[in-house]
């Protein structure tokens, strides 16, 4: 018997999803979910530990790592999903109707990333029933992922035995995976001019808004190359309509599949603001943060081959693509793991219209089991 013939217990899986979705789990407040997952993993036979990420960030809990010893010579494999959700995510009330799970419309559902968690747990249950056995199975449930992978950043990856990682954290039906994701750099430019009365003495002021506007007008936005996007998303400042604006702050982000190009683009933004400030006599305070670094997993890497083979067994598309979103896999790649990010049946994430379906959860669980079954 293979895992493709084993049946998902949809009642158990659904109840697991609903119970997790009801728990508050905003970033750095994942303790309730972590406690539940410890129990689930231990019941499955995992050795489970919680690391010191919680103490590092002054939050409620750390990352959960578990390992289930193998029963065959198959290679070890790592599955990962994150425990935190975005706001509004307090007092979530998941609703069931005709095979679809939604929130009540006042909060997110938390399908991002409860879908990934539930599919990993149910997939492991299926794999344990396979008479062919399994290799070592490792899981890493991270905290703080929604804040650019904070939990994964401080995890001790020397503990990981697997070379391949499957991160269940992408929108869309099971059967697709991202093997490429961008660097993300945020930036903020604060232009400091001089206030003056706009009616009596405008010429004595230095208009920070005009200076910032000139800089922004020189900066291309949107797709600035095949690899890179740039967006200035906020601008704020000024005191009143009759005062020459003294201080303006602009913020935005750069995303690029080429890390060096991302850095050069951010440098050009800084230089453009600096040049305009020098022209007007304003001062510039500029800062930027590299949140995650781009990666690209080769199509012929073992992690991709095992994914495609598992999809063929289940009649799933097995598409490999690029994503413009970041995930813990950006961190994993920096730590030497070969990984991809699997779509897991979550839709309209980061909104109060977020939803998933029982069918997608079941397909995702079978895919996890089929990956475990690969040699």
Residue 1: its pLDDT value, please?
A: 44
Topology of domain 3-181+294-372, CATH: Aminopeptidase (3.40.630)
Tell me: cis bond preceding 88? Omega within 30 of 0 counts.
Answer: yes
Residues with a known catalytic role: 84, 145
Q: What is the pTM of this model?
A: 0.92
For the chain, which ranges sit under pLDDT 50? 1
Per CATH, is 183-292 categorized as 3.30.70.360? yes
Residue 2: its pLDDT value, please?
A: 55
What would the two tokens of residue 241 be?
């309509």
What would the two tokens of residue 323 be?
């994503």
Residues spanned by CATH 3.40.630.10 within the chain? 3-181+294-372
Q: Note whether 307 and 271 are within 8 A (CB).
A: no
- 176-181 and 319-322 strand pairing: parallel
Burial class (CB within 10 angstroms; exposed 0-12, middle 13-18, buried 19+) of 167? buried
Q: How open is the CA angle 96-100-103, to the nearest 5 degrees?
A: 60
Q: 99-122, pLDDT tens digit by residue? A: 999 999 999 999 999 999 999 999
Residue 73: its pLDDT value, please?
A: 86
Sole residue written with tokens 């890390």: 259
Residues spanned by CATH 3.30.70.360 within the chain? 183-292
Residue 39: its pLDDT value, please?
A: 97
Q: Note whether 224 and 265 are within 8 A (CB).
A: yes
Q: What is the DSSP letter of 259?
A: H
31-43 vs 111-128: helix crossing angle, rounded to 10: 10
Q: What is the DSSP letter of 72?
A: S
What would the two tokens of residue 103 be?
């929130």
Residue 277: its pLDDT value, please?
A: 98
Q: At a CB cut-off of 8 Å and minimum separation 6, what does 132 contact?
A: 2, 72, 373
- What phi and psi values does residue 184 have, to the nearest 5 degrees? -130, 120
């Amino acid at each position: 018997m293979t895992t493709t013939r084993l049946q998902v217990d949809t009642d158990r899986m659904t109840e697991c999803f609903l119970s997790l979705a009801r728990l508050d789990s905003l970033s750095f407040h994942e303790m309730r979910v972590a406690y539940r997952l410890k129990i689930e993993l231990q019941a499955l036979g995992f050795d489970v530990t919680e690391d010191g990420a919680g103490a590092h960030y002054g939050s409620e809990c750390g990352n959960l790592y578990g390992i289930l010893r193998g029963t065959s010579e198959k290679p070890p494999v790592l599955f990962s999903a994150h425990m935190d959700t975005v706001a509004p995510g307090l007092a979530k009330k998941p609703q069931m109707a005709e095979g679809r799970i939604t929130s009540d419309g006042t909060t997110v559902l938390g399908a991002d990333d409860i879908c990934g968690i539930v599919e990993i747990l149910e997939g492991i249950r299926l794999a344990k029933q396979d008479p062919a056995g399994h290799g070592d199975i490792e899981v890493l449930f991270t905290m703080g992922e929604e804040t650019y992978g904070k939990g994964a950043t401080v995890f001790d990856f020397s503990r990981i035995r697997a070379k391949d990682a499957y991160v269940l954290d992408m929108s869309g039906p099971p059967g697709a995976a991202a093997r490429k994701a961008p660097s993300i750099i945020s930036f903020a430019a604060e232009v400091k001019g001089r206030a003056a009365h706009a009616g009596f003495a405008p010429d004595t002021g230095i208009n920070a808004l005009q200076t910032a506007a000139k800089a922004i007008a020189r900066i291309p936005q949107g797709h600035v190359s095949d690899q890179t996007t740039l967006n200035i998303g906020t601008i704020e400042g000024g005191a009143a309509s009759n005062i020459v604006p003294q201080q303006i702050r602009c913020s935005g982000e750069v995303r690029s599949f080429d890390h060096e190009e991302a850095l050069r683009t951010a440098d050009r933004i800084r230089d453009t603001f600096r040049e305009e400030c020098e022209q007007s006599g304003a001062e510039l305070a500029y800062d930027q943060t590299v949140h995650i670094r781009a990666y690209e997993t080769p199509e012929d890497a073992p992690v991709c081959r095992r994914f495609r083979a598992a999809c063929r067994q289940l009649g799933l598309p097995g598409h490999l693509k690029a994503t413009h979103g970041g995930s813990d896999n950006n961190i994993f790649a920096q730590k030497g793991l070969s990984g991809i990010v699997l779509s897991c049946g979550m839709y309209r994430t980061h909104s109060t219209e977020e939803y998933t379906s029982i069918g997608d959860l079941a397909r995702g669980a079978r895919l996890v089991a089929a990956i475990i079954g690969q040699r």
